[in-house]
Amino acid sequence: MSILIADSGSTKTDWVLLDNNKVIVSFQTIGFNPYFQSSEEISAEIKASLMPILKDHISNLTHISFYGAGCSSSEKINVVKQGLFLAFGNVPSEVNHDLLAAARALCGKEKGIACILGTGSNSCLYNGETIVENVPSVGYFFGDHGSGATIGRMFIQDYFDGKLPAHLKQAFEEAGYHREIILESIYKKPMPSKYLAGVVKFLVNYNNEIYVKDLIKKCFLDFFDAQVSKYTNAKNLPVNSVGSVGFHYKELLTDAAREKGFMIGNIIKSPIDGLIKYHS
């Protein structure tokens, strides 16, 4: 019995093939999001990047469990399911929101608050089996507090407004960021949230700067106000986080939680290990 597990964000997808509870293949492709990609585009990428890796195992594949960003409605779930069908044929597939992946990986069978802090952000209250409360994510334009996209957007806003420290402004431009390039990437090219989140890769070189610490902590404080504080009994439950932004800035995340009166639980970079354990 072989199970293919996919954990997909807007930036990347982690794939793991389990056969009798043993990892046979582990691979990574680009991220998939049905808000930005069609079934045909998803299928084409799977065929080009993943199928050559799985070619010797396809005949034994019995189930696909896909967790993905944007898979929050039946319409969007069907976009992904159709993409999987075009790539894998009649192999049974289950498509769930990446928020359920986060909850299963972070909390296991325990009650808690599960958060995603990566390119985008989201959160939920998990009762050990299912998601029972969710403050809806409204994407990088209106929300995504605490995410890489929001950190990037706020940094760029300060760049345009002339609020950056002079040496950061100079370094930012030397890294290839200029007004016209930024505006074209945001308004004319696909997946602007990924572009905005890419700014964090620039910022990691300046993690000790007061400006950078204050910017990121403010994003986390906004996240606790806009998301975590809305859940029932939130201050008596552990707040767990998965995603590269929360992981790399775990100290600032912990400081922000403490300032707002919340308890931090598990902070991990990727849910895939937890999902392997769950599906085993």
Reply yes or no on whether the pLDDT at 141 is more than 80. Answer: no
Average pLDDT, the chain: 92
The band of 142, judged by pLDDT with boundaries at 50, 70 and 90, is: low
pLDDT tens-digit map of 1-44:
789 999 997 778 999 999 888 899 899 999 999 988 999 999 99
Q: Which residue has the higher pLDDT, 59 or 264?
A: 264
Q: What is the distance between the alpha carbons of residues 33 and 79, in angstroms, rounded to a whole number?
A: 9
Specify the CATH class of 2-91 in words: alpha beta
Mean pLDDT of 250-259: 97
CB 90 within 8 A of CB 32: no
The stretches of the chain forming alpha helices (DSSP H) are 39-45, 51-54, 74-88, 98-107, 139-142, 148-160, 166-174, 179-187, 192-197, 199-203, 210-226, 244-248, 250-260, 272-279
**Which residues are within 8 A (CB) of 36 and not within 5 positions of it... i.e. 6 or more apart?**
10, 70, 190, 191
The band of 109, judged by pLDDT with boundaries at 50, 70 and 90, is: confident
What is the structure's pLDDT at 174? 94
Q: What is the distance between the alpha carbons of residues 80 and 38, in angstroms, rounded to a whole number?
A: 8
Q: Which among 2, 18, 73 is positioned nearest to 272, based on CA atoms? A: 18
Weakest-pLDDT range from 26-35, 91-100, 190-199, 224-233: 190-199
According to CATH, what is the number of the domain 107-270? 3.30.420.40
Reply yes or no on whether the pLDDT at 140 is more than 80. Answer: no
Residue intervals of the chain classified under CATH 3.30.420.40 are 2-91, 107-270
Mean pLDDT of 133-150: 79
Name all contacts of 26-33 with Cβ < 8 Å and 24+ positions apart: 27/53, 31/69, 31/119, 31/194, 32/8, 32/68, 32/69, 32/80, 32/83, 33/8, 33/68, 33/69, 33/70, 33/191
Share of the chain above pLDDT 90, in %: 73
